[in-house]
Amino acid sequence: MGQALQSAPAGHPAAFSYERRRPEETTLYQVVQEQLETFLAEVEAKTGAGLPEFVKDEFEAFLECGILAYGFLRLRCAGCAHEKLVAFSCKRRGFCPSCGARRMAESAAHLVDEVIPRVPVRQWVLSFPIPLRILFAAHPELLTPVLRIVHRVIARFLLKQAGLKRAAADTGAVTLIQRFGSAANLNIHLHCLVLDGVYRRTEGEPDFQEARAPSRDELAVLLEKIIARLLKMLIRLGHLVEEEGVRYIADRDADNSLASLQAASCTYRIALGPRAGQKVLSLRTVAGRNEKTTTALCAEAHGFSLHAGVRCGAHQRKELERLCRYITRPAIANERVKRDGSGDVVLQLKSAWRDGTTHIRMSPLEFMQRLAALVPRPRLHLIRFHGVLAPNAGLRAAIVPGPPQKPGDDADHHEHGAPARMGWARLLKRVFDIDLEHCPQCGGDLKIIAAIEEPAVIVRILTHLGLPARAPPRSPARPLDLFQAA
């Protein structure tokens, strides 16, 4: 997450305290800092059009995230007057590891505490063939009808198991749209946390009826239904063309600079530069596995896959929160991004691929292409709610858990009583046992005394403390002939 851990004072209950992160010391920050201007010039020169403004804004905000020279909060200990500075964050959703980690912890805590009822939950993971990943990247609005199809198919399966009709019962789900793979490639797929059963509508409290696990054959049938309805929907909307039994994507926006980067990222290839069209270099450091590993609850067909092997019981709330954190994790982790002796970026995979690949290697500009492809469009909701968990569902108020109430938690609630977002200090304590609320010197309470945003005041305070008062300089664009194709 970019934080350093520091031992708490003797006698203090917390194991660690917060130490300011230094993004400028990470490989990811240095690559973006050095390559951004060159990358933007390369895209414009090769495609004739620049990147969309929201992608440029993502890079700009990332370079300011966690840098004290752009502003910070001052915290002071009421006991010993020790002060701590906390830099502002960018709060973006693309590739910032720190803000992604905060969103991960916050989303997981919210889902477990205030959304998902205390009933069994099964994870259904739906993956798409590469052409549809590219289509959904260019037209993210299509994910709404896709999710509607997926939820209806799964919900009807659970209702059939219960021997009930839609009018008498319903299930609920939370879907997290994940946009990346372990190689920082664009890979749009769905993680659906579905209540593993149905709620029967009764005059009193709704009654939950648990479902048995689907068999592998049942899973295959469900996948075929999803595929048939999804393709029919895409044909009806004009995004898929079927001629003489052959289907193909109808509208590939080849002139869009971002679309070309996204398409290359989906296929593990390079979009621009001397190696355009080639696959990224992979490093194999472990023995490959010849056999294809299969799981009992996984079905595959026509490039799609449906997995339903992960389940959390009604009382496994900690396991459920870990699962939520896993599927809402950021796309990039600082510790997995390094540079080799030649200056290339080496990205360590989260786990080895079947062929033994553990790392991929790219030039810095090729890595920048991957980062740009990961940036989601503005106002694209990546968490969706269905069935009894939908915001306007009639049963929702009766089944969702209420926000946890503890003494001293008033600071995390608005004056009118509605729950506010969980504070970052509480998230750090909950997930990582890092203490931001107590002084590392004496253990006293730390309080925010000011938000420093005026440039002159920022420079004066940082200079007085002996800290860098200027932001890290950005490298100018290199001449075009240095990175044009040979």
Task: Find the domain containing 70 and state its range.
Answer: 4-94+422-482
Tell me: do 172 and 301 sit in the same domain.
yes
Tell me: do 297 and 444 sit in the same domain.
no
Regarding predicted confidence, which is higher, 192 or 80?
192
* Contacts with 52 (C-beta within 8 Å, 6 or more apart), sequence order: 258
Tens of pLDDT, residues 70-89: 998 888 888 888 888 888 88
| 101 part of a folded domain | no
| 105 part of a folded domain | no
Are the C-beta atoms of residues 187 and 133 closer than 8 Å to each other?
yes
Number of domains in the chain: 2
Mean pLDDT confidence for 358-383: 94
Under the banding of pLDDT at 50, 70 and 90, the label for residue 252 is low
**What is the spatial distance between Cα 435 and Cα 420, in angstroms, rounded to a whole number?**
20
| 197 part of a folded domain | yes
| 416 part of a folded domain | no
Tell me: do 133 and 265 sit in the same domain.
yes
Tell me: do 315 and 272 sit in the same domain.
yes
Tens of pLDDT, residues 256-303: 889 999 999 999 999 998 999 999 988 887 777 766 555 679 999 999
Tell me: do 133 and 247 sit in the same domain.
yes
Under the banding of pLDDT at 50, 70 and 90, the label for residue 440 is confident
Residue 416, pLDDT score: 37
Mean pLDDT confidence for 204-217: 91
Tens of pLDDT, residues 399-426: 998 765 554 444 444 333 334 444 555 6
Tell me: do 224 and 259 sit in the same domain.
yes
| 63 part of a folded domain | yes
| 207 part of a folded domain | yes
- Residue 255 to residues 47, 139, 198, 434, Cα–Cα distance (Å): 7, 15, 47, 47
Tell me: do 446 and 378 sit in the same domain.
no
DSSP for residue 326: H
Query: How many CB atoms within 10 Å of residue 125?
Result: 17
Tell me: do 256 and 223 sit in the same domain.
yes
| 359 part of a folded domain | no
Task: Kindly report the pTM of this predicted structure.
Answer: 0.85
| 357 part of a folded domain | no
* Contacts with 137 (C-beta within 8 Å, 6 or more apart), sequence order: 179, 186, 188, 259, 262, 263, 266, 373
Tell me: do 89 and 120 sit in the same domain.
no
Regarding predicted confidence, which is higher, 127 or 394?
127
* Contacts with 171 (C-beta within 8 Å, 6 or more apart), sequence order: 154, 155, 158, 159, 194, 195, 197, 198, 199, 387, 388
Q: Output the average pLDDT for the chain.
A: 85
Which stretch of 167-171, 203-207, 466-470 has the lowest confidence by average pLDDT?
203-207
Tell me: do 80 and 122 sit in the same domain.
no
Tell me: do 324 and 458 sit in the same domain.
no
Burial class from Cβ neighbours inside 10 Å (0-12, 13-18, 19+) for residue 451 reads exposed
Tell me: do 70 and 166 sit in the same domain.
no
Are the C-beta atoms of residues 319 and 312 closer than 8 Å to each other?
yes
Residue 82, pLDDT score: 82
Query: How many CB atoms within 10 Å of residue 19?
Result: 14
Q: Which of 123, 172, 106, 150 is nearest to 320 (CA)?
A: 123
